[in-house]
Every structure is written in C-alpha cells, then in structure tokens.
Amino acid sequence: MTTPAWILLFLAVVSVLQWYIPQPVDDDTAYHFAVGQLIGKYGILHSFPWTPFSWQFDNYADKEFLFHLLFVPLGGLGFVTASRVVGVVAGTLILSTLYLVLRSEKVVMAGVWALIPLGASAFVYRFAMVRPHLLSIALALILLWACARGRMYILACVAVIYPLAYVAFWQIPLILLVATESSRYLADERLRWKPAVTLLAGIVVGVLLHPNTTNLLGINWIHMTDILFRNAWGGKVEFNLGTEFDPFPMSGWCYYLLVVLFMAMTALVLSWRDRRQNSFPLACAIATVFFGVLTLKSGRFLEYFVPCTVLSLAVATRPMGTKLIAPVLLGVSLLYTLLLGTYPYTVLGALDAKAVYLEPATAEFFAQQIPVGSQVFTTNWDYTGNLMVTLPERRFLVAADPTLLYKKDPQLYALWHRLPESAPPDTAELIRRRFNSRFVISRNDPKFWPFFDALTTDSRVKCLLADKNWVLFGLGDPSEQ
C-alpha cells in the first residue's frame, strides 16, 4: 500500500473508534471544547474570569493552545461531533507519525506495525480521550527520531511547537533526549551537543511565541511540583485528581499490557545486542523503559509507553527483514484483547458509564434557571467542563483541576472540600458569603445527602431540580433577607 492509502486507513480506523463512543470519555474534553469556543468569541485569552477563585483567573496560561485552536471553527457542529472530529485528526496524526518514522527507518510492513498499539485496549482507552496528550504523543515520536538521527531542522520545529501544544513541554523532550544520548554512550558513540542545544533553543522560542509566556512557566511548574509530585504522587491534597494519576494496577498489566510487556523486553534485548551497529533501537528501548517506569507510578504515561514499545521492537527487528512479525503481533494482540481485555471498550461504548453526562432536558433546565454571569458552587470539580458547555458565560469554582483553587487560596479550598462532608447548619450562608454563589449544582450522590439537607434548612433555599443524577439548588437573591 502507498503512504496515502495507509493514512486513509488510519483515518477510517480512528473514525470508527470515535463514532463508536456516544459521549466523550471524560470531562476534560468538554473543558477544552469550551475554551476553544471562548477563543472564537473573545480572541486569545489572557485571563480566565469564568473561574474567579482559581489561580488561572489572573495568571491565565493556555497550556494547550494549539489543541484549543482545533476546536475554534467546530463550535457549530456541537460538542460531541466537534470532539469526534478533533479526536479523528489527532488520532490519525499519531498513527501516521508512527508509520512515517518506521517507513523512514525502512521497516518492513510499517503500516501494520503502526496499527499494533491499537491491539492494547488500555492504550485505546487513552487514545480515545480527546485531550491534548494526543498531540504530545505524535510530537514525542517525531522528536525521538529526529534527535537520534540528527535531523536538526525537524527537531527544532518540534521543539518550537511543544510549548504551544502541551504543558509538559520540556519534561517529555528531556526524557527523550536523555534516552537518545544514553543509547549513544552505551553504544560507544560520541555524545552530541547539537541535539541538546537545538532542543533548548526551540523550546525557548516556543515559550516566547506563546501568548501567555510568563504564566506558562508558572502553570508548568505547578503541574510538575504541585499536581504530579505533591498531589498525585505525594497524596498531600485531599481531592482526588482522577484515576489516571494512580499507579497502573497489576491487574491492568496482566489483562491489558502483557503482550506489550513481552514486546518491550524483547526490544530491549535485541537493541542491546545490536547497539554498536545501530543505536536508534536502543534509544527507543530506553525511552520505553522510562515511560514504563512512569506508568508504574501513574497510568497516564502508558500512552507513551505503548507506542514507544512498538517503535522500539519494529526498528530492533528490522535487520531480520521478515514480513511475518508485524501481522503475527497484531493478531496476537487483538486475540489477547478479545479474550481478556474488552472491558475498556465496554466503558467507551456505554453512555451510562459517563457519570458527567447531562441529559438534554436537564441541561436546558439548568440554562433556564441560572442567569448568565451567575457564580455556581459545585461539590466536585470533575464535571465543570460539561457545565461550561451547558452554561456558557456562567462562573465556576475551578475548571479541569482543583489544585489551581488550592494555589490561589488554600483556606478557601479547605472550606470547599470540607463543606460537602461536614454540612454545617450555616452551609447555605457560607456558600453565599465566601463563594459569592447563588446556585449549587451537584451529582445526586448519597454521600452528599447530608449536605443537601443542610442547605434546605435555610428558608431562602429552594430545590429547583432533583433527579437520579443531578441536583440544583437556588440559594436566594442577595436582596432577600
């Protein structure tokens, strides 16, 4: 098959996957769609008044600027269709990038190799999430190849793009640079200074080109120190940041990644054996090891671990020249998934598994009851994105991450965390006074029922909606006493 034919096949495969999913996998996609629509309405954002209690309010940095630009022209399609389109574009970009790198390395059956990551259902679950990490995966694959092969112009372009596309704009490139130079050292090659200098210069240019340069550095540091090291890995902040930050469970390795693990170990052995003939396979294998270790600590890194595994094994087996390896591995991966790993597909295809889904009638009722410009109190953070889509121009406590509320006002954050759990008698008044909110939206979770009861003890509070999924309270007009 020709290159255009393979790219069309990748496009078709990713399209089928995205249209199989009835609603975007998680709330972050809704947030990114909402930001794209805000950019379309107001232009490039330099503040974020829709979350006045968040660090982003007056220190805004669009850490996924290019990803948000993809959504700008798609608002007329609606949230779900726009998300599918962006998911298809980004997913096709990943598979095409992997294919083109393998093709440049003269790997036999490069197109089949590029499909192998889709044999791991845990990877497919992350791959189906329409989020900025999709762009980062493609950039990482190009960067690893360009750095190892000395393609300085390509490396410089990728380095410039990274700060405009993803928050970990220097951390991921640093991992790949270390992997590349380590492979050269272990292969008794001379270390090269040009890739490091080119990478650094490109990242600096990208940061300077970013519309929120100074704040971008701040949000990058917050994500690394507060969100990843302190919160997710250190467990210091009370709110759950999502299961993606948890260590990937041992059962997950057995059910979803056993074939990938076998491939990774095989690639490491082969690349080490042949390292003095070609150090690039070893660079890919070392990158795979790095991302594998990170996946042990946090499941969100498996989206790098799996494609790096496939890349490393493909280039490590290239000298064999056989056409059987890729089809056999693809078949084994798919068979293993059919036998043990179908659960992620079940979750992707089930609408009732999307806890943040708002029924159209509920969304319309919320929009009717909550005036534009209103401040809304929520009992959690992981459905704010969907509320931003449903209730444009309303204001919320946080968007996408509770840590940014903590960074702006730790005491207010503590109160927000404590109120739904302790439910003091003056809950409604505290929300009015401390959070300037006249509406409360919550999932109808039994753990919040004491909180709801505390609200209703206030004579000014009205329960405007209570169904099996959602609850909406009106706390009364400020003029009411």
CA distance 300 to 166: 14
Rounded to the nearest angstrom, the gap between the alpha carbon of residue 181 and the centroid of all alpha carbons in its chain is: 28
DSSP string computed for 442-463: EE--GGGHHHHHHHHTSTT-EE
What per-residue confidence (pLDDT) applies to 354? 61
The residue with tokens 């799996």 is: 306
CA distance 301 to 366: 36
CA distance 8 to 327: 19
Tell me if 451 sits within 8 A of 427, measured CB to CB. yes
Mean residue pLDDT across the chain: 91
pLDDT in tens, the chain (481 residues): 899 999 999 999 999 999 999 989 888 999 999 999 999 999 999 999 999 999 999 899 999 999 999 999 999 999 999 999 999 999 999 999 999 999 999 999 999 999 999 999 999 999 999 999 999 999 999 999 999 999 999 999 999 999 999 999 999 999 999 999 999 999 999 999 999 999 999 999 999 999 999 999 988 888 777 666 555 555 555 555 566 677 888 888 989 999 999 999 999 999 999 999 999 999 999 999 999 999 998 888 999 999 999 999 999 999 988 889 999 999 999 999 999 888 888 888 886 656 667 888 999 999 999 999 999 999 988 889 999 999 999 999 988 788 888 888 989 999 998 999 999 999 999 999 999 999 999 999 999 999 999 999 998 999 999 998 999 999 987 545 4
The residue with tokens 């990713």 is: 14
The 10s digit of each residue's pLDDT in 38-84 is 999 999 999 999 999 999 998 999 999 999 999 999 999 999 999 99
pTM for this one? Answer: 0.93
CA distance 28 to 35: 11
Where does residue 205 rank: exposed (0-12), middle (13-18), buried (19+ CB within 10 A)?
middle
CA distance 275 to 151: 20
